[in-house]
Structure 1
Amino acid sequence: MRTPPRRHARTRPAPRRPHPAATPALLLLLGLLLAACTQRAGESHEERGGTAAATAEVPPSGTEGVAPIRTPEVPAAPDGLPVARIVSLLPSATEMLAALGVGEALVGRTMHCDDPAWVLALPSVGSGLTPDLERLLSLRPDLVVAGRMQAGQPVLQRLRDHGVEVMVLPDERLEDVFAGIDALGERLGLQTRAEEIGQGIGASIGLLTLRQPAEPVRTLIVVGTDPIFAAGRDTFLDDLLQAAGGVNVVERTGWVRLDQEAVIGLRPALLLSTGEESRLREQWAFLRRAVPAVGLCSVPEDIAARQGPRVAEAAAAYQRCILRHAPVAPPE
């Protein structure tokens, strides 16, 4: 049995609803979430110098005699793995597969997949939104893993037409992280490892309850600025916020487009986003003029939107921001 809580006590259970058809707003939000996972300076591994071996063989000018930085070697695949060649089209799925220990059975990734470091040695199939079908097929995958928000992409049906198994993971709520890890563990015969990962995540999120503020902090979670998009209720980021001790000022569900007037009208006590905090102060100067007490806090880009094994780190980052703006609840 998994150590509770798998879902934080204050997180509303999410009834399963049919996934809506792709809309321009939904596709934009998928792009924003993937963009939050892009490698430093937006460069793919290939753009930053090719394979790990090539990087190691040609040291930068002026560094002769200095040991080059090497990408860690790809771990060996476990014996008896029922799938020999896997390609991941989602950074969170890549992290799940790595945590499960598939190692060299993972043969391809997207340009946004950069954790753990050894995956940078794998060939990229381009963007998770528009992966290169020919490059995908050249990797001869037995299994391609994608997210539910990518389910309508024509490339997935093309892969099925070529006889490639496509596994679509749920990716809408915090609980879906556990469901995705469990599903991969079952498909790959790694159920015990999946249970261990889930127990660790659940325990870490559970510990956050000991440091929640006396009153939930009214928070706006921004996922895009041009135009402004925020995470509404019944989303993965809303679940993280509740686990951390915040309450979402956006009462609508899903991903919500806002203008400046609407942002001011929400009167958040805290705004969470990514990027340098000095830049946040510039971007949100209009809000600070209208709501001088509002706090601005940045969360790390590489964990802010990934529904993978590091979600407890993301929730902890949210809580660090929240605790800057509210006292800790006294122990019972």
Structure 2
Amino acid sequence: MSLVPHATELLFALGLGDQVVGVTHECDHPTEALERPHVTTDRLPPGLSAAEIDAAVRERTERGEAIYDLDAELLAELEPDLIVTQALCPVCAVSYDDVQAIAARMDPAPKVIALDPKTFGETINDIRTVSDATGAKEAAFVLIATIARRVEAVKSAVADAEPVPVAALEWLDPPFAAGHWTPQLIEMAGGFDVLGLPGESSEQVTWEMVRAAEPEVVVCMPCGYDLGRAHEEAEAYAAQLGALGARRVVAIDASGTFSRPGPRLVEALELMAHVLHPDRVPEAPSAALDVEGAAPAERT
């Protein structure tokens, strides 16, 4: 049972898809995951703006309430031997404490493991954690080696390039600077993050703070948004983004790249390198859309 999308992606990447008996309502990759029963639902109503989502999440988490519901009855019916979840972010998955409590009442009680990476290296270690719990050690070896080769290819391509100052915005209303693994990926891609700190939580900032950091490139990666929605969101804040004075503002598929610390983080790295150094990394596994409304503004 996978209770977080990046765990679902990892289980399938390790060739364990046929053993996955249930997933969350947000597990959409690979497409086979859509065929599994959904054991979670979203408590937040649809159609909320970025500001409304932020306010609703803050209100619920401050009251100690979850923003997802877990179908304990269905989970028990599916009889998993292993539940893979996370405890790092209350916005990303059902409560870890709730999962532990439900698992303890099941007979037999399944094993519960939490994947809570804060750095790129820890996401690689999660591959080993899951392989140890499932016996997929050979597949894990191949996956780690494949990721390592792709990482080295990017690092070699940008090795002597001038680092590009980058602001990675994980939310736009209010603006949040991306943390955790994102600053590391930016550095490996031939840039340096002017706001976020490696391994640290994402941090709320102001538009004035972003402008003062003088990014040359701004990457809009609203957490959990696909490319279309991220681009729409960025266009809605084009005035604020344009006032930053960056030479380029792009929107990316955050849900498919930076938001999920699973096997596709290497695709996030390749995409970032393409955005920052298209002459050295001419192709990327996914697209970045320029935010046309955020035309560069003169600095004062």
The reply to whether residue 239 of structure 1 matches residue 184 of structure 2 is yes
Cα distance in 2 for residues equivalent to 1:290 and 1:119: 40
1:299 corresponds to which letter in structure 2? I
2:21 alignment partner, SS class: strand
Find the partner of 1:106 among 12, 20, 35. 20
Deviation at 1:312, TM superposition (A): 1.2
Q: Which moved more, 1:184-193 or 1:121-130?
A: 121-130
Q: Which residue of 2 aligns with 1:322?
A: 276
Q: Which residue of 1 aligns with 2:251?
A: 298
Alignment of 1:167-186 (within 5 A): 167-186=113-132
2:268 corresponds to which letter in structure 1? A
Alignment of 1:120-199 (within 5 A): 120-127=34-41, 130=68, 131-149=70-88, 153-162=96-105, 163-199=109-145
Q: Which moved more, 1:134-143 or 1:173-182?
A: 134-143
Offset from partner CA, 1:154-192 (integer Å, 9 cap, x none): 312213322221111232111122111111111111111
The question of whether the paired residues in 2 share the 8 Å contact of 1:237 and 1:305 is answered with no
- Measured on the aligned residues, the alpha-carbon RMSD in Å equals 2.3
The reply to whether residue 215 of structure 1 matches residue 169 of structure 2 is no
The question of whether the paired residues in 2 share the 8 Å contact of 1:145 and 1:166 is answered with yes
2:25 alignment partner, SS class: coil
Cα distance in 2 for residues equivalent to 1:304 and 1:251: 14
Q: 1:254/1:103 Cα in 2 relative to 1: closer, same or farther (>3 Å)?
A: closer
TM-score of the aligned structures, taking structure 1 as reference length:
0.66
The question of whether the paired residues in 2 share the 8 Å contact of 1:110 and 1:125 is answered with yes
The question of whether the paired residues in 1 share the 8 Å contact of 2:178 and 2:196 is answered with no
Find the partner of 1:226 among 173, 196, 211. 173
Q: Which residue of 1 aligns with 2:290?
A: none
1:195 alignment partner, SS class: helix
Find the partner of 1:312 among 252, 266, 280. 266
Name stretches of at least 5 consecutive residues in structure 1 with no aligned partner.
1-86
Cα distance in 1 for residues equivalent to 2:122 and 2:188: 15
Name stretches of at least 5 consecutive residues in structure 2 with no aligned partner.
43-66, 222-226, 282-300
Cα distance in 2 for residues equivalent to 1:271 and 1:149: 26
Cα distance in 2 for residues equivalent to 1:242 and 1:127: 36
2:243 alignment partner, SS class: helix
2:6 corresponds to which letter in structure 1? S
Q: Which has the higher contact order (CA 8 A, sep 6+)?
A: 1
- The number of equivalent residue pairs is 238
**Which is greater in Rg?**
1
The question of whether the paired residues in 2 share the 8 Å contact of 1:264 and 1:287 is answered with no
Offset from partner CA, 1:3-37 (integer Å, 9 cap, x none): xxxxxxxxxxxxxxxxxxxxxxxxxxxxxxxxxxx
1:210 corresponds to which letter in structure 2? S
Cα distance in 2 for residues equivalent to 1:272 and 1:177: 22
Offset from partner CA, 1:61-108 (integer Å, 9 cap, x none): xxxxxxxxxxxxxxxxxxxxxxxxxx1011111111111111321000
Q: 1:279/1:167 Cα in 2 relative to 1: closer, same or farther (>3 Å)?
A: closer
Q: Which residue of 2 aligns with 1:288?
A: 242
The reply to whether residue 265 of structure 1 matches residue 212 of structure 2 is yes
1:108 alignment partner, SS class: coil
Cα distance in 2 for residues equivalent to 1:225 and 1:278: 12
The question of whether the paired residues in 2 share the 8 Å contact of 1:299 and 1:318 is answered with no
Offset from partner CA, 1:233-283 (integer Å, 9 cap, x none): xx1111211121110101554211012222221221111124454752441
Deviation at 1:287, TM superposition (A): 3.6
Deviation at 1:294, TM superposition (A): 3.0
2:165 alignment partner, SS class: strand
The question of whether the paired residues in 2 share the 8 Å contact of 1:271 and 1:297 is answered with yes
Q: 1:267/1:150 Cα in 2 relative to 1: closer, same or farther (>3 Å)?
A: closer
Q: 1:205/1:153 Cα in 2 relative to 1: closer, same or farther (>3 Å)?
A: same
Q: Which moved more, 1:161-170 or 1:270-279?
A: 270-279
The question of whether the paired residues in 1 share the 8 Å contact of 2:196 and 2:203 is answered with no
The reply to whether residue 256 of structure 1 matches residue 203 of structure 2 is yes
The question of whether the paired residues in 2 share the 8 Å contact of 1:171 and 1:307 is answered with yes
Cα distance in 1 for residues equivalent to 2:233 and 2:116: 33
